[in-house]
Structure 1
């Protein structure tokens, strides 16, 4: 009887040990599963952060484009997106850099210029969105209006063929020249001039970045300068010019990317920030009408 009771105790004790052993194994397994789940979740979160963040390399003119991008960079940095801004002070390099995949985007040009570049070079580039208008202006050291320019005056303009109609629009609006009927002014060229009673000569042999110094040296009665180069050279298009474009200009500056990249989340976020209220306020506060945010 005692022997039987002892065997029962031993059996119960063994069962308790077995139960404890199984519970420990199950607990260990549960802990391991939890750790693996946490690691998987953390990995997924990191991957999502990398997809949402990362670096956008972008080529831009120094002013106002790079200045605007620097302001946008402080906003994007909080979201894990870094802007790597390459300053380029000419109109031919940024699209080549973009086409050659040396940068992810550029910010310096408007649609007519982009279309001309695509046609000339075969670039597969598209707009990701408009950001601002830089009203072009006419500057003169000696005259206070276009009407004051004497007969035979030379007007210095850039060698950008995409903007010939833009140059001419100042004189068409002032009633000083006429262009061929049926041609929209933004598509007009110097060859489309039909009436030029004051015999103005439009000299388009100069790179746009050199026009500020030519104006300062008083090398012609009038010089038409893009606002980014004017601002970079210390000129204010609103205060220093004899006539300036208004906010209705169709030449909005844009962010360009390789076709297909406009769907990238980081590119879309960049454009959203550049079109957002904070950047609009920055533009209005810092450029006082010399740069106009898109509406």
Structure 2
């Protein structure tokens, strides 16, 4: 064997032995999924080794907002996402003229009301400063929770798209401000009350089961779904992800890790 040929042979053999620097095993395929950090990305990390055994390499992309995960799935930059409820998705599709679909329901995050200044909702003063999410779905979700807690009255508390205009009674004259959901934990020290999605509450170190002054019941209809494009419903990679997300391993992880702050929906 000539010296140059010998060197090339040894280089090729070395690369083969190293597995191409950690490349996926032969026959595996990739699937990208957008998620918010807590609890979605944490749950997906549990799913990752399950999928590897099924020949699917899961690529988790973490986002801190609720818009880009959908935008990037629509644009086919990412395959699927896992962060949202069906009412939120419906509002997004209506606003953007898109047709993303729910694929499988995984968990429920009971929505909560938090305060650093007061220990109960009864202690809120007249004209209290209250911040709520600015997206249609979570905006109404916050108002419905306040209605059930007796702080306000809505025209129809069963309407999943209630708005501030639907408040018919506000005895404490609460002053509402609407902010991006991700901003709410950051302003908690600056306001009297903040209505915060559980994923952002957990990310900020809050314990919904202990810190929330009011919280949705465990039978909340706001299930968090795996979401994708309609043409992905029969994609074998996506079907494997759906099965893994609703597996006994994931259910046990959710119950053990979040202790009621996040509840399995299956």
- Scaled to the shorter chain, the TM-score interval is 0.7 to 0.9
Matched, 1:192 2:166: yes
Q: Secondary structure at the residue paired with 1:267? A: helix
By how many angstroms is 1:147 displaced? 2.0
Q: 2:8 aligns to what?
A: none
Matched, 1:209 2:209: no
The structure with the larger Rg is 1
CA distance in 1, matches of 2:187, 2:196: 10
Matched, 1:123 2:98: yes
CA distance in 2, matches of 1:172, 1:241: 16
Q: Secondary structure at the residue paired with 1:83? A: strand
TM-score by length of 1: 0.78
Q: Secondary structure at the residue paired with 1:209? A: helix
By how many angstroms is 1:121 displaced? 0.9
Matched, 1:61 2:28: no
Matched, 1:221 2:205: no
Query: Over aligned residues, Cα RMSD in angstroms?
Result: 1.4
By how many angstroms is 1:65 displaced? 0.5
Q: How does 1:10-29 map to 2 (within 5 A)?
A: none
TM-score by length of 2: 0.87
For residue 100 of structure 1, the aligned residue among 52, 58, 75 is 75
Matched, 1:137 2:112: yes
Q: How does 1:128-277 map to 2 (within 5 A)?
A: 128-181=103-156, 184-204=158-178, 206-215=179-188, 218-277=189-248
By how many angstroms is 1:175 displaced? 2.2
By how many angstroms is 1:63 displaced? 0.8
Q: Secondary structure at the residue paired with 2:233? A: helix
Aligned length: 241
- 1:236-295 Cα distance to aligned partner (Å, 9 max, x none): 111222122121111111111111211212211211111121101000111111111103
By how many angstroms is 1:98 displaced? 0.2
CA distance in 1, matches of 2:33, 2:145: 32
Q: Secondary structure at the residue paired with 1:186? A: coil
CA distance in 1, matches of 2:252, 2:80: 23
CA distance in 2, matches of 1:193, 1:243: 19
Q: Secondary structure at the residue paired with 2:110? A: coil
- 1:54-113 Cα distance to aligned partner (Å, 9 max, x none): 111111101110110010011111111110111111111001100110011001111011
Which runs of structure 1 show a deviation greater than 2 angstroms over 4 or more consecutive aligned residues? none
Instruction: Point out where structure 2 has 5 or more consecutive residues left out of the alignment.
Output: 1-25
Q: 2:59 aligns to what?
A: 84
Check the 8 A contact 1:166/1:185 in 2, yes or no.
no
CA distance in 1, matches of 2:215, 2:155: 24
Check the 8 A contact 2:244/2:250 in 1, yes or no.
yes
Q: 2:4 aligns to what?
A: none
Check the 8 A contact 1:130/1:253 in 2, yes or no.
yes
For residue 114 of structure 1, the aligned residue among 83, 89, 92 is 89
Check the 8 A contact 1:127/1:262 in 2, yes or no.
no
